Amino acid sequence: MRRTRSFSLGAAALMILTAGLGGAAVAADSTHTPGSDPVAEPALLEALQRDLGLTEEQAVDRLANEAEAMATDEAAQEAAGDAYAGSWIDAETGTLVVAVTTAGAERAVESTGAATERVTHSQDALDTALAALDELTAPAGVSSWYADVQDNAIAVEVVAGSENTAEVTAFLAEAEAVQSLPLTVRTVEEAYTTSAAGVVGGDPYYTGNVRCSIGFSVHGGFITAGHCGSGSAAVYGWDRSLMGNFAGRSWPGGDHAWVRTGHGWWTVPVVLGWGTVSDALVRGSNEAPTGASICRSGSTTGWRCGTIGAKNVTVNYGNGNIVYGMTNSTACAEGGDSGGSFISGDQAQGVTSGAAGNCSTGGSSVFYPINPILSAYGLTLHTA
């Protein structure tokens, strides 16, 4: 498990379903839109109860609060304008909190129904600081870095035991030199590794000697993780029949790809429950705020749930493989889950990139957000 502890360096301191997985159950109700009462899919309720320790009533209430927060977040960001500094769901109240840098923005945001918190640094300032760090060369002991919107600072995650090595110390000193925002160093037990796996049998798709998981259906195919394939490699389904080929791919830098399908495979707007929970419908891709519950589906560990952590996370997978713009979560994942679906309520969130730890003793994961993937390839999500 990636338990963390923090220490400050001072005031100026550092910081799928393809088509074709036949037999998926599709619920009859497809009238839900964000902002209305959420559709409480059995898959989500069961997994939230198991992984977050909730009762059924608490899971239903949580989904309702998060659907409302997603509907409010876009309007709140627009109201905040240049004073926007991030947003999250308060764990105690379930309400959306928007960080802003001015009193005028506070009033504007509160008129949308969101709560506010005054901070010093805007989202633009945080993004500028992250961009400066992204220009640096990170050693293996530095796992990731991101803007912690609740702390209004930059966080750098360092693998335990490497905090005082010459390479990590030099990186942190250089990080401090390239930007002046507060920077917090957090130690984590393990670094992220990509979640692909060799062929070990079971669903969902294969390319070469690698098994990965399908993310979400798009018109013409499906999206998945970029590190799972190469070039225009052929892709084979769970039954080893030809599905199609990689049609676009980003790795490293990004970690996403799309596969153009044919050969009798078709797309459906469903995320599989792998026999553990009911399959879930996909009705859109509205981005959920930090703190929202999220579940993921993969061919190794099935349904696992957690909460959304930091966004715009830069992850160092080692050997020069650095990926920008990801989101971390407390949902566990293991080898073979790469490329699989992350969903919040009935809204697609992204595809699995990597994980630390495992689903037996505890772990965490990172995913690449879905909307930038759709935009990169000009794709349209298949929705119910």
Residues noted as catalytic: 227, 255, 338
- Residue (of 210, 214, 245) closest to 228 by Cα position: 210
Exposed / middle / buried, residue 263 (Cβ in 10 Å: 0-12, 13-18, 19+): exposed
Token duo for residue 346: 């009935």
* Beta strands at 313-316 and 221-224: parallel, antiparallel or unpaired: unpaired
